Every structure is written in C-alpha cells, then in structure tokens.
Structure 1
Amino acid sequence: MSVASPGALSSPYVELDRSDWARLRDHHPLDLSAADVARLSGIADPVDLEEVEEVYLPLSRLLTFYVSAFTRLHRVTSTFLGEHPPKAPFVIGVAGSVAVGKSTTARILRELMLRWPDTPHVELITTDGFLLPNAELERRGLLQRKGFPESYDRRALLRFLSAVKSGQPEVAAPVYSHLTYDIVPDEQVVVRQPEVLIVEGLNVLQPPGAHADGRTGMAVSDFFDFSVYVDAGISDIREWYVERFLRLRETSFADPQSYFHRYAELTDQQARARALQIWTTINEPNLVENVLPTRSRATLVLRKGSDHQVARVRLRKL
C-alpha cells in the first residue's frame, strides 16, 4: 500500500498492490468454476480463477457494502420525503480502452453479483448499442471516428439511464452487432427493473459538456453509484489489440456476413500492419484524447501489467 510522505499533498486514492488487495477478499465466497471464467473471458484477454479470487472477489465484496449502503440511503430518503418510489438500481460504470479487457471485467462482475442472495437480477448493457448507425455516421463524416464521443447518440443513452434509474418497469436499448459492425434494425434489449445495472463502454466517464449558453449538461456518469476504469500502458494495449485482430481473422472475420470479412485472408504480416494502422489512426487517438483523461473520475482503477494481469488497484476514498 502506498503511503504519502509528510507534507505531501494528500491523494484522494489509496493504492494497493495485488497481494494487499487480494487479502481484502476476507473469505468472500467464490461460486465460479474454471469453465465459467473461460466462458466469460474475451478473445486475447486471459483471465483465470486465480485472478478472479485475488482481484474480482475483493471487488465483489466491496460492492456488497456499497449496494447495501445505497439501499439503506434510498430507503431513508424515501421515508424523509414521504414517498414510495420504485426501488432504484445500483448502477456501475466500467470504462477503459479498446482491447484493455473492460468487457471481460463487466461480465465477471455481473456473474459474481448474480450469485449474491440479495441481487438475483443484474443486467449488463454496453454503450455500443447507442452508437449512431453506420449510415448516419457516414452522412456526418464520422465513420472513421467510430467510438469517439461524437459517434454516440448521447441523448438516447441519457434517456435510457434516466428511465432505468427512476425505476420504470421496462426500458429498451438498441442492439449492436460486432459481426455486421452496425446497429441491428428493429432489435432491442429490454431491461426490467434490475437490482444492479452494469454499463460498459469507452466513454462512460466523460464529464458533462457545456451548452452554448454556458449551462452544464448531464453526464452518463451522473447516473453511476460506482465506477471502474480498466487501465494499462498504451504500448501494452496496442499489442493486445493487434493480437485480438489476428485472432478475429480466424474467427468472426471468417464469417462471410462479417463487416471485416475482407481481412480474413490477410497474411500475418498484412494483418498486423492493418491492425496497427487502425490502432494508430483511430483507437490510440481516441484513448489519449477522450478515454484516458477520464481515468481520474473512476471510483476504482484496475491497473494491468504487460501480462494482462491486474497488478495494482487504486480506490477512491470516500
């Protein structure tokens, strides 16, 4: 655990190495098998039972405390106001770069929380569904900036989160296909009053924007009760992105329906060159300009080493 020197500016975070963090599990039960972990892991994103035990179980234990406190606060506030509103869900944001493993983190958290006795209903939504359709991105000249903040229907995402947070019985979200690289027309996923909602995406921790009249708008993170940023060195993430691209060439890219089917026949050298070009022109600029600057807004930061394993954890103090 890092300790500030006398006279140093106090940090709003406590930072722990993996061994210190792992001890905070404190016998929190592990209900996942090796097969479960393999099912939840992403392509080129290795996670094993040891990492679940040492990283995600302590986080799961911490979240039990947060959810319990949130439930009590909601009850006390409702009593004070003399109201009986629907129970609001506890909302967790998961942010980080392309290829850093945030989707795997979100899936593992959901799976662990589903096994809690008090949260049998946990939903996971990715902000990919709120990307503008390719035709609209092309019309606006934004197709090569897919994943940048301006490529999302931010208003629709805010409306969705507001409706879920207010306890509406059913709230629908668009569906995104990574095969066709586009929104699926006339298809929706419906969220029905979950106890916990996990929202995963590149830009979910962005601060609110300012209107022309100087007023500050709403931010997606305004609806979060806890947030996780999955972090790693840019050079490591770049290599993981290239590795994932090479593997996708043999899996989903091989499907004739895939938007990226043209890459399926590339040689290793050609595929690596193309992946690096995409990373350098799109993903890294988005990371540096838009994603990485939001790291300090997270409640908790999971810092990965070059082996893709979480090495350090940084937790914001209350």
Structure 2
Amino acid sequence: MSQTMLDSESLSPYLSFSREEWASLYSADIQPLTEWEIAELQGINENVSLDEVSSIYLPLCRLLNLYVTSSQQLHQQRNAFLQRQTKKPPFIIGIAGSVAVGKSTTSRMIQALLSRWSNTPKVALVTTDGFLYPNSELERKGLMGRKGFPESYDLKNLIRFLSDVKSGKKHVEAPIYSHLEYDILADRVQTVTEPDIVIVEGINVLQVPKQRRNKQMPQNFVSDYFDFSLYVDADEAHIKEWYVERFKILRNTAFQSPVSYFHRYASIKDGEADEFALSIWNTINGVNLHENILPTKYRAHLILEKGKDHTVSGVKMRKM
C-alpha cells in the first residue's frame, strides 16, 4: 500500500481491504457449505462460488463471531458485577442496501455460516418486507407507487418487534411478505423463539425518519437495536442491470403462476420487459436508492463492495 493511500486511510473513519487482503484474514481447514447448499442460498440471478464463501463470507462470519463472543462475555461479567443472573439478549445484525443488490443472498449466507458456530446455533433471519403496510392500506394512503419508501413501512410495528426481541421475550412474531403475491400474508407469521442472533435484512434498516419531531413517528430508530450493521454496495449501473435481469428471469418463472401479482407480464417480449423494468427502476427503485438508501451507507459498521459480476471486490470496516 502506497504512502498516499496510507495517509488517505488514516483520515477515513473506515479501514479498506481488497478482496485478497480480506480473504487472508481468516483461513478455515474445512469448507462449511457444499456447492448444493450455496445454490439453495443464492439469489436467482447470482452465482456464488465456493471461493466467494471462503474469501468473503468466512472471514466476515469469523469477525461477527468475535463480536458476538465479546458481547456474551461482557454480559457474563455484567451479571457477576450486578450479582444477578439475566438472560443474554440476542445479538442483532442489520443488513441494508438497494433493491437487487444481493442483500438476501448475503443474509442467508451469514445465517447459514453463523449457525455453525457452537456459541450461536440459533440464528433467525427476518426481512423488513413483512413490515410493509398491506396493499389495501397502501392503496388507501395513496402509496402503492411508493412501495419500499420509508413511509410505506409500519415502523411502529417493526420497532415493537425489535424491542420485544431485544428485551428477551420468548416468542416474538413477525409478519410474512409474499413476493409472489406482492402483499402481506394475513394468515401467516414468522415466530422467533429465543435466538442467539437475529439478522434483520431490508432496504430501510439504516434509515433515519426525516420527521423525527413528528409525534406520530417512533422516538427511536430501527438501527438503535443493532449490535452490528452491514451495507451491501455496488455501482448503480450494475444494480440496475441486475434488476432488469432479475425481472426477466421472474417473467419466465414466478410470473407464470396465476396467483402472481405480476402474472399479466408473464408473456411480454424481451424489449417490453426491458422497458417496463427500467421504468420501475427510474421512477421508483432508483429514486428510493438516491433519496433514502444510499445516504445511509456510511452508518454501517461494514460495507461490502460488489463488482459487475456480483462478487465482492472490496470491504470497508469502520474503525470504531
């Protein structure tokens, strides 16, 4: 590393690592995931390799395990000091980033790997999609065209969920969202039962409400409950390309189902699919990225920087 780069990094709140530098931080003798398991965990237009797991996710999960272990030890020491035996609350990890950037794959990989550590066998994954208002409520509020924007989420319910989890409540329920039906499933919930770790994934998890003084808004933020946070980053041009590619794959798969909200687009041609997906990006997802998601990037403890092929090319980690 050149002296100029060293000087620049000394003035940054983040430490920067190339892919090779990050991969060298942790080496495991055994690959904990098989190719079949990886294929089950990755997104529909991603191709996560064994090398990606070894080079990126194993060092990341080793780091996260160090944070969790330190938190567990501090809890034990605090119990001894206070002369009280209290249950350790779950360690909560927030994962943010744009639509189509690969947050869900990252979250599932982390969940699978962390659950293999002996001190964190129970790792729950909850997505904030479940805390979107139902379509009927969004239509009533005139917000269907802003689905995914901060105002389309039931933040009070999300905050209540995180508060219950962090306070040690034995069983905590979260709503479930169906991407096929493009709506909340009214008759189903996800129950989180005494986990060691909870991963909370969503585009909005690091956002700060713009109207903080509004009495109708929560007085605390979603990220107040996080012990560690990640942001999955990539150039917008690449994300837009991945979004269009994903839309076309879904057109030929999930959209073919009659119950799919987007079934009416199942038979459109490639040119029409490109045009429609780009219009959604340019009017909704791209706007949301610039107005609400991207500004939260530097609130994260760690940033995964992805290249055009979806692999992680670099990592930034906050110094404190």
| Alignment TM-score, normalising by the size of structure 2 | 0.95
Structure 1 vs Structure 2 CA RMSD: 1.8
Tell me, in whole angstroms, the C-alpha distance in 2 between the residues paired with 1:24 and 1:56.
Answer: 11
Contact 2:232 2:304 in 1 (8 A): yes
Residue 79 of structure 1: aligned partner: 80
Which of 213, 225, 228 is the matching residue for 1:226? 228
Amino acid at match of 2:310: H
- Answering whether residue 247 of structure 2 is matched by residue 245 of structure 1, we say yes
Q: 1:5: how far off?
A: 5.0
3-state SS of the aligned residue for 2:25? helix
Q: Match of 2:306?
A: 304
Write the mapping of 1:189-200 to structure 2, written as runs, cut at 5 A.
189-200=190-201
Pairwise mapping of residues 180-195 of structure 1 onto structure 2 (< 5 A)? 180-195=181-196
For residues 157 and 111 of structure 1, what CA distance do their matches in structure 2 show?
24
Distance in 2 of aligned mates of 1:257 and 1:310: 35
With over 3 angstroms needed to count, the CA separation of the structure-2 counterparts of 1:112 and 1:2, relative to structure 1, is: farther
Q: SS of the counterpart of 1:236?
A: helix
* Counterpart residue number, 1:68: 69
Give 1:79 shift: 3.1
In 2, distance between residues paired with 1:264 and 1:317?
48
What is the aligned length?
317
Match of 2:259 in 1: 257
Q: Where in structure 2 are the equivalents of 1:1-318 lying within 5 Å?
A: 4=5, 6=7, 10-27=11-28, 29-207=30-208, 209=210, 210-212=212-214, 217-318=219-320
Q: What is the percentage of aligned positions where both structures have the same residue?
A: 53
Q: Does the aligned pair in 1 maintain the 2:9–2:15 contact within 8 Å?
A: no
Q: Could you give the per-residue CA deviations for residues 5-44 of structure 1, whole angstroms, max 9, x where no partner exists?
A: 5598621110010000000123364210000110101111
User: Using the alignment, how far apart are the partners of 1:17 and 1:7 within structure 2?
Assistant: 15
Task: Determine helix, strand or coil for the equivalent of 1:24.
Answer: coil
- Structure 2 residue ranges without an equivalent (≥5): none
| Equivalent AA in structure 2 for residue 127 of structure 1 | T
- TM-score normalised according to structure 1 size: 0.96
| CA drift at 1:242 | 0.1
- Equivalent-residue separation in structure 2 for 1:7 and 1:315 (angstroms): 15
SS in 2 for 1:194: coil
